[in-house]
Amino acid sequence: MRIAYILHQYFPRHIGGTEVYTEGLNRYMKDAGHETLLLTYHETHHNEKKDFVCQTNDHQGEKIKEIHYNLSCAPNPVKYEYCNPFTGKLIKKELKSFQPDIVHIMHSMKVSGAIFSVCRALKLPMIVTLCDFWFICPRYSLLKWDNSLCQGPEKPLSCMRCLQDTHGFFSDELIEKIEQGVDPFHFWEKFKPSCRKQSAELKALGKRNTFLRDQILTAERVIALSAFQKEMFIQNHYPEDCIEVINHGISTKGLLPSPRQKTKSPPIRLGYIGSLVETKGVHVLLQALAKVPHLEVECLLYGQIRPEDPYYKLLLEIAHGDSRVCWQGVFPSSEMGKILAQFDLLVLPSLWYENSPIVVKSALYVGLPVLVSDLGSLRELVPYKDCLVPPGDVDKWAHALELFCQAPSRLNFDRCAIKTIEENAQEILAIYEEVEMKTR
């Protein structure tokens, strides 16, 4: 079988749960004798059409096809965010060349919903995995521009401030007028010619989620990674019977059981693994540590460091002078077990509805104590109340860290039964074979 995997970003430029999961599926399918294509996206800084091409990249000997584009150059950036015909043409060319039997869409962000019409035109069956909430939230996280949680847009134009914060779309003047109750289309069409472009962008925003829902419903199968995620899509007008929940698996290679009791002397090692982005709440962890300077701990932060990133600079400012904080950078996914073995406690202070993160599953698999935010699928994944902390509450996080350091054994629990990537890949392969038979 020939399988095309399509996602928003990939190694070596980006490291995250979707990338790790896709890598695991891809490896299993290739080892099982199937041919695969990895097709992804790169937001280039170039602004000339000649630079918007498909390039071949390399990751550990694996060839990656990478679509290059700059969203700011689009004639209607708001529309192209979710339906980009230019990237669609490049993707169509690659799929025609590879001729897959199945297209597995791991993430549509950046490549956009144009992939669906491409696959329909080529008569290619599609499987979609919902790795986050991008189909109902242009920020993917259901976390608003002001870091408040969202249940999905109440109105077609509800996402204006979030899109302004994320992509720079829309002017303050326009947003203020709409919030005052002005009919945006009537007002801006007649106000001045220079604002007609914003009117077209507003119309595009109004169609975003309906368009994406219509596209995703043309896929043969749609997979959610948690019951919570499925429920959020149902609340946002997706038919209940169109989404099935299949928990994803983890690579267990090198994951060894954690000791039942802490025996070594201080400092206690706290560990964070993930992206250094605001939605992950790393600043909450550092602010909590600052409130308990007496704790004898080491805080090991693993994540991709981008020195010019304003959020990273903020983290440095918060942690300034705290020798307990150690910036560790990134590591190959194959070393997850080795990294977890260093920790006495894994922390994940996320502000958004995490979708069954692999790092938490890995910790549960080895029996490593965890402290995670009490929301979304994390609440579903971690069945121990003492391990859950209110998201964004610095005082509660400081208190939870202090309690753990006073009695590390209080969070000990039996290893959880976590699905392996091999078990999950067999489930996914069975879906491929079923769909291929039906659409042959």
Q: What are phi and psi of 40, to 5 degrees?
A: -140, -165
Which pLDDT value is given to residue 263? 47
Neighbours of 45 (CB within 10 A): 7
Secondary structure (DSSP) of 14-57 = --SHHHHHHHHHHHHHHHTT-EEEEEEEEE-S--SGGG--EEEE
- Residues paired with residue 300 on neighbouring β-strands, in sequence order: 271, 326
> What is the domain partition of the chain in residue ranges?
2-249+422-439, 268-411
Q: Tell me what pLDDT residue 144 has.
A: 95
For 77, residues 6+ apart whose C-beta sits below 8 A from its C-beta are: 71, 167, 169, 201
User: In a 10 Å sphere around its CB, with 0-12 CB exposed, 13-18 middle and 19+ buried, how is residue 73 labelled?
Assistant: middle
Distances (CA, A) of 358 to 72, 328, 381, 397: 33, 19, 11, 22
Distance CA 228, CA 266 (A): 38
In this chain, the answer to whether the domains covering 2-249+422-439 and 268-411 adopt an identical fold is yes
Other CB atoms within 10 Å distance of the CB of residue 266: 12
CATH 2.60.120.20 fits domain 268-411:
no
The hierarchical CATH code for the domain 2-249+422-439 is 3.40.50.2000
| Residues whose CB is less than 8 angstroms from the CB of residue 183 and which lie 6 or more positions away in sequence, other chains included | none
Q: What is the pLDDT of residue 176?
A: 86
What is the rounded CA–CA span in Å between residue 393 and residue 283?
11
Look at residues 263, 245, 159 and name the one whose alpha carbon lies nearest to residue 202.
159
Return per-residue pLDDT of the chain as tens, 440 residues: 999 999 999 999 998 899 999 999 999 999 999 999 999 999 999 999 999 999 999 998 899 999 999 999 999 999 999 999 999 999 999 999 999 999 999 999 999 999 999 999 999 999 999 999 999 999 999 999 999 999 999 988 899 999 999 999 988 888 888 888 777 666 555 555 556 677 788 889 999 999 999 999 999 999 999 999 999 999 999 999 999 999 999 999 999 886 644 545 679 999 999 999 999 999 999 999 999 999 999 999 999 999 999 999 999 999 999 999 999 999 998 899 999 999 999 999 999 999 889 999 999 999 999 999 999 999 999 988 899 999 999 999 999 999 999 988 877 776 778 999 999 999 999 999 999 999 88
